Structure 1
Amino acid sequence: MKKTTFLLLIILACNSLFAINLDEAKNIARENNKYFLSQKANLNQAKWNEYNAITNFLPKFSLDGTMVRLDYDTYNKANQFSASPYYIPLVDDQGNPAPFPLPLSAMSGSIYKTTYTSQLTIQQPIFNGGKIFIGHQIAKLAKEQALLNLKSGKNDLDYQVAETYLNLLKLSDVKKISEKALASSKAHLKMVTDKYEQGIVKKSDVLQWKVKVENDKIALEEVNNSIEILKTLWKDLLGLKNSDNLPMPDEIDFMQHENEIQKYAEIKEEEMDKKVDNILTQAERTNPDIKSLEIVKKISKKGYLIAKGNFLPSINLQFQKQFESDDKLDFDGEDSWNLVAVASFPVFQSGANLTNLKRSKYEYLKTKLQMDDAKDKILMGTKNSFYNLVTKAKKVNSAKVAFENAKENHKILNDLYEQGMVTNTELLDAEIILFGGEMNLTSAYYDYILAKYNLDKFVGEQK
């Protein structure tokens, strides 16, 4: 996909008006959109957090070295004291006391002006109330949640791209219709002006068409402004802010959606509930936001279990091996070792463990209720999205009928006007109805396609 996106960008650099389809636009956005890229970075962070949690099970090794240098006074006093003999009480072969002098330095070790000490320390956790094990489970769940958030971010980005893509196309089509409406108004103005000069129509008829022309000009200008504003959002979504070349959406063939539109428009009332139930079941199974909510509840429950673990003892081992303790840094002096097992029992913590447990319990309950409420809202949004899709499909059919009637009405009134059988106002109304009907039909098609993408986002089926 990266190679394809790279080739697209090269082509775009050669042609600023290059048209791309929706899938190509999504690929470009996924490669460049900053928010989506931050979601990818968040997933990598969660992976390394899980690896870090695994290290809590493993022993920790550390090699320490110290150098202690005494000042002259301390060193001299220490040597004088250590040189003083300590007499060990002994008796000779006659049974008479015969104390044996032994220097203190012989018992305590030599005293050096500079002492080097090197030792290896190994620490191994044995049991800590389940905190290490649960901590790893939380890190693993957090990684799963980050992956689901990435999928949700992808669905949201794809929908935003589709929405902007379709709105750009809709505005482009509306612009064409507005240009036709303006051209038609100008043509009618010329025709009415000619008739006015011949004394056939009133001046008010000419003025009405002049007003219509000016209104059409303003409407066209507003459409152009809306397109430029939307292009800014389009560039931001694609991550092409610093690019001078902006790819524009390729045209969509509405006829590709006709069969699907008719299927939803003609759906029977008794089939609706069954269809909704199937969609909600699928959403519960595939919607990444719903699955992420379930993980949030699990993580909160793990926090409650950690609070329970504060009542349990902790056991840890520590081994130390001293390599040297003399006046030379050669790892060849006095050595020793020790193995320590530390067991800690939380006998009384002034109620801290109990209050923390209660806090975690209600925090879990709060999270569970909030997540269930959020899930209900997502499913409600899914249901509403389906009903909206059906409504949009029916709206397409209604708009088609209305536009056909508007065309026929305009043709009849235009012919009658040329024969002087209808008023100028009636022709103006027919003109407005005609181009308004065409805009409504165009908008209805785009609204249906967008509603379909919205439903796909809720169900979690964005391609």
Structure 2
Amino acid sequence: MSNKKAIVLQAVRGLKKGRIVFLLATATVLLLPSGAKAQQQAVRLNLSAALDSALQNNARIRQYREKVEQKKYMKKSAMGNFFPTINVNGGFTWLSQNAEINMDMFKASVDNMMIGYADMIGKGLQLSPTAQQILVQTVSNVKKLPAVNLEMDAQNFPNLNFTLFQPIFTGGKIIAGKKFAEADLSYSNEDLRKTENEIIKETIDRYYAIVLLKAVVNVRKQVVAGMKRHERDAEKAIKAGLIPPYTRLRAQVAVANAQRDLTDDENKLELAKMALKNSMGLRPDVNIEVTDTLHFQVCPLNLSQLQAEAKTSQPVFQMIEEKKNMVKQKHNLEMAEFMPQIGAWGTYSLFRDKYPVIQPPFILGVQAKINLFHGGKKFNDLKATRHLAKEVEAAEEYTRQQINLWVDKSYRQVLNTQDRYHKLQPTIAMAKRNYVITEKRFREGMAKSIDVIDARLLYEKAQIEAYHTLYEYYVALSNLYLATGNPQKLTDILIHQ
């Protein structure tokens, strides 16, 4: 329960005054206990509230936000390569018996050293040549030292070392890694913006799908009511002997068909609500009710301006720019492999007196390393980055062509649906007039039952076709503004209409 309250309170801070009512209603629904779900009231929302909920709670957007946070820490991680690394390692080693120096490996060298030492002593004492020769011969005749191993009286060896390494020169590898991480973060930000734009379009489409289906359901209900009314009129006419009895069946079939169409569209409406709740990040059991109605709204459009806007605002182009930057830094990283790696290091050791060779407490040094041969790996990696750069350039050219095509196609779809909607208005008016006249003539006994049914169905078809065309108009608009990278502009037009 506490997590849900935190989500609601966080969302309150980012909403405008006009949307707080929707948020409070949503909060009430989210915090309801399980037993109260069946009794909850519908949450009324407009397009603005639906978009706010989607941007705050949509799972896909939250996924990409977490990806951006991940890249932020990876950037900080790359910055850490500029600083020294300090490690401490310690342990304890136990030998099952004392270690020995194998004198068989040193005996000949020690014997020669003793003979040479005897010669030096003779010369140092300024003995006569004969005496010196006797001394050397005497030592040499002793025959070699006995083959006795030297034993170290120690079996326990603790160790505790502090080491430090500071890179001095890496051929630009650290700087390239930092710039790569920055470009990767920028790429993720643009990817998040692209995802948000897609969710905005998805929410608009699904929201207006509900508005469309509500209008269609209302038409279906009117048709059902009209068909039932005609069924009653037909029954009266049959009793009066004005029309044959078989027309009753025709009227009943018309009522059944109208009720079937109504049920189908009511089911589609419930599915559309489920889809919208999915985009908004709401639970499936939350009951929602949209408040907007489907009517025509003019959007001034200029194709050249839209194409220019797409070049500057489309997130895909920004992502390609960051991709090019990452490829450039990857090339720098590969170039750094040909350069020497230079660093300073230092060590401080404890328990030095526990070892046969006692080292000083501090050891400092500078180390340089350069690879001379790696089987051609570095050369091939470098060539691969060059082809990767060309690949990105080709992808950029292809993307520009596709975005221009996308904008042009969506623009023409908007104009086409707009024109079709306007041309349907006279058809609707004529179909309505025809239905009213035909129904009146039937009541006066001057028209057949089938004429009334056909006129009603023709009027219904014209109305529903107009609603579908209007929905397609808004879908085409959302697709057009998504292509330009600015779906927010469409939301401003729709919200303030």
Give the distance between the partners of 1:12 and 1:70, measured in 2 at CA: 70
Determine the C-alpha separation between the residues in 1 that align with 2:324 and 2:360.
Answer: 56
Of 302, 306, 318, the residue aligned with 1:279 is: 306
Q: Please say if 1:326 is aligned against 2:353.
A: yes
In 1, Cα distance between equivalents of 2:199 and 2:89: 52
2:310 and 2:484 in contact (8 A); partners too? yes
Match of 1:183 among 209, 222, 225: 225
| 1:80-131 deviations in Å (ceiling 9; x for gaps) | x9xx9x9886689965799xxxxxxxxxxx9754344433322122333333
Name 1:406's counterpart in structure 2.
431
Counterpart in the other structure of 2:344: 317
Matched letter for residue 287 of structure 1: Q
How far, CA to CA, are the matches of 2:362 and 2:444 in structure 1?
A: 119
Once the 2 structures are TM-superposed, how far is the Cα of residue 222 of structure 1 from its aligned partner? 0.6
Partner AA of 2:11 in structure 1: K
Q: Distance in 2 between matches of 1:339 and 1:145?
A: 41
Q: Is the 8 A contact 1:69 1:113 kept in 2?
A: yes
**Match for residue 38 of structure 1?**
63
| Aligned ranges 1:143-158 → 2 under 5 Å | 143-158=185-200
- The yes-or-no answer on 1:12 pairing with 2:29 is yes
Greater Cα shift, 207-216 or 412-421 = 412-421
Whether contact under 8 Å (1:125, 1:317) holds in the other structure is: yes
Task: Return the offset for 1:204.
Answer: 4.1
Alignment partner of 1:444 out of 469, 482, 485: 469
**2:368 maps to 1:342:** yes
**Where does residue 289 of structure 2 map in the other structure?**
248
What amino acid maps onto 1:32 in structure 2?
A: N
1:289 — aligned with what?
316
Are the equivalent residues in 2 in contact too, given 1:290–1:378 (CA < 8 A)? no
Say if 2:210 is the partner of 1:168. yes
Which shows bigger deviation, 283-292 or 88-97?
A: 88-97
Cα gap change, 1:77 to 1:341, in 2 (>3 Å):
closer
After superposition, give the CA deviation of every residue in 1:6-59 in whole Å (9 maximum; x if it has no partner): 634224357431211112112222332221111110000111111111112221
Residue of structure 2 in register with 1:367 after alignment: 392
Amino acid corresponding to residue 387 of structure 2 in structure 1:
Y
Cα distance change, pair 179–373 in 1 and its aligned pair in 2 (3 A): same
- Residue correspondence of structure 1 range 46-61 to structure 2 within 5 A: 46-61=71-86
Structure 2 partner of 1:137: 179
Equivalent residue number for residue 164 of structure 2: 122
Describe how 1:361-400 pairs up with structure 2 within 5 A.
361-400=386-425
Render the CA deviation track for 1:353-375: whole Å, top value 9, x for unaligned. 22222222223322332343233
Structure 2 partner of 1:201: 243
CA distance in 1, matches of 2:311, 2:388: 25
Normalised TM-score (structure 2): 0.77
SS in 2 for 1:67: strand
- Partners of 2:224 and 2:450 in 1: how far apart? 17
**1:121 partner amino acid:** T
Letter in 1 for 2:367: A
What amino acid sits opposite 2:226 in the alignment? S
Paired AA for residue 132 in structure 1: I
Supply the AA of the counterpart residue of 2:364: N
Gaps of 5+ in 1: 99-109, 265-274
Check whether the contact 2:320–2:392 (CA below 8 A) recurs between aligned residues: no
- Which is higher, the Rg of structure 1 or of structure 2? 2
- Give the distance between the partners of 2:451 and 2:308, measured in 1 at CA: 53
CA distance in 1, matches of 2:439, 2:445: 10
1:336-358 deviation digits (Å, cap 9, x = unpaired): 41303213143x33322222222
Instruction: Say which SS state the counterpart of residue 326 (structure 1) adopts.
Output: helix
